[in-house]
Structure 1
Amino acid sequence: MPIKTPAVRSWVAALLLTLSGGWALAQPLLIAHRGASGHRPEHTLAAYELAIEQGADYIEPDLVMSQDGVLLARHEPLLARVELEADGRTIKRGVDGKPVLHRTDTSSNVWQLEKYADRLTVKQVDGRPMAGWFAEDFTAAEIRADIRAQERLRDLRLANKAFDDRLPIPTLDEVIALAKARGVGIYPETKHPSYFKAFTDAAGLPRMEDTLLKALHAAWGNRPEAPVFIQSFEVANLQYLRGKTQLRLVQLLSASGKPYDFTLAGDARGYAELAQPAGLDFIKRYANGIGPHLNLIIPLQAQQLAAEPTPLVAEAQRRGLVVHGWTFRAENSFLPKDFQNSADKAPGALGDMAGQLRRFLATGMDGFFSDQPDLARAALPPKR
């Protein structure tokens, strides 16, 4: 039977097994970062559906857990976040006595639901105090009943706010069903795996990784050619996954800092070390690729792209690792100065993301994440 869905053709044609055991790409993979999050509130079925319509090859759900162990698509464990005083323990309150909302890390209306006011709390997430309403303090049924998504970048992506309080929080099963029905791949990220392992251990629940694999294997089987990548900023959970699955794994690399599980283990290495040849040799023992921050591919100098890229892409590919860079966003506030909109300086005005993307595609990277799949697809060469 011929494959008729364009996105299915993309991942079938793009992923060709090489003699080295790596994957050679006919065209860079377009991964919708949290869905079409530049156009709809992130991690909603509406965002994923629009991303598919705009030509995404893969949709990306970040995963957190409910109190009863259901995997949900959210950027952070926090469904809504509030500010803390400098002591890191006391919730900051306004003159009206209400908690002061964190403006860029609140992705649902739970903060407006009086019935859940008593679930506001302060926790340590990866060694940092955070305050708000946490997904693992709610059952999946509660989250699905009356908690609705809101635009997380509420002061930047104003048009997305038209969809606030209307869209439910999707489960992983719903995202998988959508991906399978529409013939695209899925690129889940295990968020804060050490944090959630402590939660599942204490609650007597299966760990996040096992729940994830059960769903993915049921949908696509345990095979390396499945249209699935599993990504994480931590290392130990990817190593754990490697012993249980043939699905492809991707080590995320931030521009600074270190994996939190390295902090817990006393490992002195940071992401900068993992991006070096010795670090890539280490990663290839358990992963199929890396997901580097864009600054690790082409650094910024005086807020402009450097003239030359680093050797990271070539070094990773030499070791059979694919490279998926993150994240391409069209708004001025996310772009290097040389690609910002010179006519409209507003943070939310759209600049030349296509030009920025072309600079990075010239490095030979195998795929990339974007908040605006439509603009990214238009910047790519025609599919062969």
Structure 2
Amino acid sequence: MKLPAATRPIVIAHRGASGYRPEHSRAAYDLAIDLGVDAVEPDIVATADGVLVLRHENEISGTTDVAHRPEFAGRRTTKVIDGQKLTGWFTEDFTWLELKSLRVRERLPKLRSRSFDGEEGILRLGDLIDLLDERGGVGMVAEIKHAAYFESIGLPLDELVAAELSSAGWENDPRVTVECFETRVLGQLRDRGIAAQYVFLLEAAGAPADEVAAHGRAAKPYSAYLTDAGLAGIAASGIDGISVDKRLLLAADASGQVTGTTDLVERAHAAGLLVFCWTLRAENIFLPKNLRRGGGPREFGEWRDEFQLIMRSGLDGVFADQPDLAIEARAGL
């Protein structure tokens, strides 16, 4: 997405307006658009029959009612996904016909309202594209989840995503950004003719799953990409930007008090990369210690102070669960 400087940083609704509605529900996306966001962010996983659906993870017990559906009790299983052992219900073990019968629910019930639980079903990527075409103008930052894993079980997400975008006429749409914690799938999509903006998601620890799959313990860690040489290498590979945990942008002292921002945005920009960060959230539990206020973990703290501190670093976009608050903070800069 290329927007004028006056609108930067762009505000991206994280899984829709997920601070107010169950994530990835139609209601969350509709509300995000109503609130005036620049883009929405879907997470993309696949079903057994190759349908792309919007879920934060392929394990869905925390975001749907599948655990309470006796007809699917036998689907509960344990898998290793990107090196993590997980037990639950997984999208790739269901057909779309089966998944569409489930109802979505709040992922963080101890922090956020469950009053909208059970009202809607799971969305497909195609459903979101149709909604964005209907509403007009809003971009999409699509995150591909667990690409190496899905490829290993015969569900290549590069092929499936490219086919979905092309069939919808979005293969050359300037509203499209694609991001992933793995770089291989980004190159595969580009090679398939998807003229999107490509963003590499980075964490402070660990290594990309595609690197681990290819090189095992010799895999290049995320930290190596955050050096000046690493950033230059990302740019040289044809990737347009990086997206990082906000903690990589916040400087803090030993007690956890935020004191300012790091130089990561400046260094990434010097390498020719765009910079995005995740995730801006207003609740106390997600804020630095010195920006929390009374009332418990679910109450809103001094979110404006954190949001504006991050925005003043000069980055290009932010992901927010409460996108209206991010828009408000941006307007007050």
Please classify the TM superposition score into its range, dividing by the shorter chain length.
over 0.9
Q: Map Cα deviations across residues 84-111 of structure 1 (whole Å, 9 max, x no partner).
A: xxxxxxxxxxxxxxxxxxxxxx100000
TM-score, with normalisation over the residues of structure 1? 0.81
The answer to whether residue 278 in structure 2 is matched with residue 323 in structure 1 is no
- SS across alignment from 2:105: coil
Residues 351, 62 of structure 1: alpha-carbon distance in 2 compared, 3 angstrom cutoff: same
Q: Map Cα deviations across residues 134-184 of structure 1 (whole Å, 9 max, x no partner).
A: 11111101111x201011112221x1x111112100000001111122121
Aligned to 1:114: 70
Residues 290, 329 of structure 1: alpha-carbon distance in 2 compared, 3 angstrom cutoff: same
Question: How many residue pairs are counted as aligned between the two chains?
Answer: 327
Q: Quick one: distance in 2 between partners of 1:259 and 1:189?
A: 14
Q: Map Cα deviations across residues 235-286 of structure 1 (whole Å, 9 max, x no partner).
A: 2212222322321110001132111122222244211111111111121113
Sequence identity, in percent? Answer: 39
Q: Quick one: distance in 2 between partners of 1:198 and 1:165?
A: 33
The answer to whether residue 23 in structure 2 is matched with residue 42 in structure 1 is yes
The answer to whether residue 223 in structure 2 is matched with residue 272 in structure 1 is yes
Q: Quick one: distance in 1 between partners of 2:169 and 2:200?
A: 21
Aligned to 1:190: 144
Report deviation, 1:126: 1.0
**1:1-384 pair list within 5 angstroms:** 13-14=3-4, 26-80=7-61, 106-144=62-100, 146-157=101-112, 159=113, 161-183=114-136, 184-200=138-154, 205=155, 207-223=156-172, 226-244=174-192, 245-266=194-215, 267-284=218-235, 285-301=237-253, 302-307=255-260, 309-341=261-293, 343-344=294-295, 346-381=296-331
User: Given that residues 141 and 178 in structure 2 are in contact (C-alpha distance below 8 angstroms), is that contact kept between their aligned partners in structure 1?
Assistant: yes
Q: Quick one: distance in 2 between partners of 1:198 and 1:310?
A: 38
Q: Map Cα deviations across residues 278-326 of structure 1 (whole Å, 9 max, x no partner).
A: 111121113111001112112333222233x222111211222111111
Report deviation, 1:220: 4.6
Report deviation, 1:59: 0.6
- SS across alignment from 1:369: strand
Q: CA RMSD in A?
A: 1.8
Bigger Rg over Cα: 1
Q: Quick one: distance in 1 between partners of 2:210 and 2:262?
A: 27
TM-score, with normalisation over the residues of structure 2? 0.93
Q: Quick one: distance in 2 between partners of 1:179 and 1:333?
A: 32
Residues 38, 74 of structure 1: alpha-carbon distance in 2 compared, 3 angstrom cutoff: same
Q: Quick one: distance in 2 between partners of 1:154 and 1:46?
A: 17
Report deviation, 1:68: 0.4
User: Given that residues 2 and 174 in structure 2 are in contact (C-alpha distance below 8 angstroms), is that contact kept between their aligned partners in structure 1?
Assistant: no
Q: Quick one: distance in 2 between partners of 1:262 and 1:62?
A: 21
Report deviation, 1:26: 4.5
Report deviation, 1:370: 0.3
Q: Quick one: distance in 2 between partners of 1:306 and 1:180?
A: 42
Q: Quick one: distance in 2 between partners of 1:286 and 1:181?
A: 32
Q: Quick one: distance in 2 between partners of 1:382 and 1:128?
A: 41
Instruction: Give runs of ≥4 in structure 1 deviating > 6 Å.
Output: none
Q: Quick one: distance in 2 between partners of 1:208 and 1:288?
A: 20
User: Given that residues 170 and 176 in structure 2 are in contact (C-alpha distance below 8 angstroms), is that contact kept between their aligned partners in structure 1?
Assistant: no
User: Given that residues 242 and 286 in structure 1 are in contact (C-alpha distance below 8 angstroms), is that contact kept between their aligned partners in structure 2?
Assistant: no
Aligned to 1:103: none
Q: Quick one: distance in 1 between partners of 2:6 and 2:174?
A: 15
Which amino acid counterpart does residue 125 of structure 1 have in structure 2?
Answer: I
